[in-house]
Amino acid sequence: AALALLCGSVAAVVVWKWLGKRQIQKKMEEARRTRDEGVKKMAKAVQQFREQVPSVQTDAILSLPLLELAGRLQEGSLSPRTVLYTYIEKALEVTQQTNCLRHFIPECEEQLQEIQHQKEKGLLYGVPVSIKDHIGHKGHLSTCGLVQCLSTLMQEDSVLVKVLKKQGAIPFAMTNVPQSLFNYDCSNPIFGQTLNPFNHQKSPGGSSGGEGALIAAGGSILGIGSDIGGSIRLPASFCGLCGLKPTAERLSVCCTHFLNVDVCSCPTPVPCALGPMARDVDSLALCMKALLCQEMFQLDPTVPPIPFDEEVYSSSAPLRVGYYDTDGYFPLPPCMRRALWETKGALQAAGHELVPFSPPRIHYVMNELFLKTFFADGGRAWLDVFTGDTVDPSLKPQVNYCKIPRLGKKLLALILKPLQFFLLLKLKNVATISTCRSVKEMWNHHHQLEAYRTEFISRWRELQLDVVLCPVLGPAFTTGYPGKLLTAISSTMLYNVLNFPAGVVSVTTVTEADEEELKLYQGYCDDPWDQTLKQAVAGAVGLPVAVQCVALPWQEEMCLRLMKEVETLSQKK
């Protein structure tokens, strides 16, 4: 009887698990069906527009830089309707190739009518804009690639979307993201893997990877992403775009969701920042100018009322630029360091003063400050978001690690410690993440973050720097590899910890010579992590190579100024 009861209990558990998985599968299928129906409706709307206006010069419109497009929309030589449907048609083509869209926004047609009745044309009048999945838009999901988020529609637009609309922009699409946003690949079990438009074996980066792929392939002229560890800058690097992570509080994050929580209601010592992504630096500057307006400051009083300083951005005064080609934590591929040195030389030749700069204690920043912020509870809050969900393959190593009991993690660290010092450093995120075991420890952690920011700013001030030029991770990784190399993003993570504005601009491409030099790459100790990085970036000839530009907090205009200078010099070259 006992055996029969045990067998019956086991059978019941198996059936219960099967039913749970089946329910998850149904929810995911329904989400994909809804997306596909939206795509068909938009394709039909484009076809109807084509029949009504058969003479549209699609290529001419798509080739216009944002400043020129905005100017022609303002003067009336191009109509918002023509531009919108031209970009929707291109986005349909791009998502078919790269799977970059999560959903079209059908209300874009209502916004098209709305802007006709605005008293004044905003700075982004008639400009189609794409937004990242988790930026709230009324009547739409904010999924973060999670099944548990598939049942709650946003009740209102995020502040940022409201301001975009006030400035005449037309949000028309929401783009794909990695599951939980905690990955710099772009894959989730619901909507699948997004591909790099330049090479479908490669990732577009993440977590704003859908934006990166869509803009790089010409399906959007301006996008809004978010960045908490490099999520704007890495897709910009992988896809050859310009992307800006502002000081976190410079733009409102209200009604933007991270791990199913409104970012506004969940402050963190390493905050999430929203920022623009586009094909050139002037587009980023125009977007920032449009967003930093009275509407933003009134809707979200926590945003400092600091309008965009055009004088700083347009200045031609020589800059004092700090630079470094490695942070000493994770050595980057040869092409990224080449790009840095070429850019440094070009800036020097243009009359700017270049000063060697060394960021302090990066191992401490990565292992103690950044990872401890996100895994202060040992990863339990992060694990909770996967309850009743299918974990994406790219996240399974991290999820499985977080499930190991604390004692098991300590034993794992002890086993690995004798193997190799550098191995341990790179495994810090896998085997020895510190947790905050008390409120006192948490307060102390916050104090350590502030103390490090003070130390970094002091070093910056001692050298009297205006800006810093430094590397960014790249070129584009082969899909699946970002999940294996979380600590490779130290180059971007640093400026989230510091909460400095940082932007990425593409300056060159991977050459055959770079690829040959990569074969000799050994990193610091030719360990499995260095070898994994080598495999991740191999086969990248022709792909974009970028650099990173940084300024002090609240000096986005200065950051953009350096980005513009770098862009201009790289185009001349």
Q: Strands, E, within 60-191: which ranges?
A: 101-104, 128-132, 170-175, 187-188
- Judge whether 270 and 365 are in contact, CB under 8 Å: no
Phi then psi for 175, rounded to 5 degrees?
-110, 160
Helix (H, G, I), strand (E, B) or coil at 558: helix
Could you tell me which residues come within 8 angstroms of residue 485 by beta carbon, excluding any fewer than 6 positions away?
Answer: 477, 529, 532, 533, 536
315 marked among binding-site residues: no
User: Known catalytic residue: 458?
Assistant: no
Helix (H, G, I), strand (E, B) or coil at 101: strand
**Cα(241)–Cα(234) distance, integer angstroms:** 10
Tokens of 344: 């440094």
Classify each residue of 3-26 as buried b or exposed e, where b means 16 or more C-beta atoms within 10 Å of its C-beta: eeeeeeeeeeeeeeeeeeeeebee
**Cα(355)–Cα(345) distance, integer angstroms:** 12
User: Known catalytic residue: 132?
Assistant: yes
Among 99, 232, 239, 116, residue whose Cα is nearest residue 170: 116
Q: Looking at 142, 208, 220, 231, which residue is catalytic?
A: 231
543 marked among binding-site residues: no
412 marked among binding-site residues: no
170 marked among binding-site residues: no
Could you tell me which residues come within 8 angstroms of residue 164 by beta carbon, excluding any fewer than 6 positions away?
Answer: 124, 129, 171, 224, 290, 291
**Cα(153)–Cα(103) distance, integer angstroms:** 13
Distances in Å between the alpha carbon of 416 and those of 133, 330, 425, 431, 528? Answer: 39, 19, 10, 8, 13
- Judge whether 405 and 425 are in contact, CB under 8 Å: no
Tokens of 68: 């020129």
Tokens of 158: 């995020």
229 marked among binding-site residues: yes
CA 429 to chain centre: 20
207 marked among binding-site residues: yes
Q: Looking at 142, 207, 237, 506, which residue is catalytic?
A: 207
Q: For 405, how many CA atoms within 13 A lie in the half-sphere containing its CB? A: 2
User: Known catalytic residue: 490?
Assistant: no
CA 312 to chain centre: 26
Q: Detail the residues annotated as belonging to a binding site.
A: 181, 207, 228-231
Active site residues: 132, 207, 231
Q: Detail the residues annotated as belonging to a binding site for substrate.
A: 181, 207, 228-231
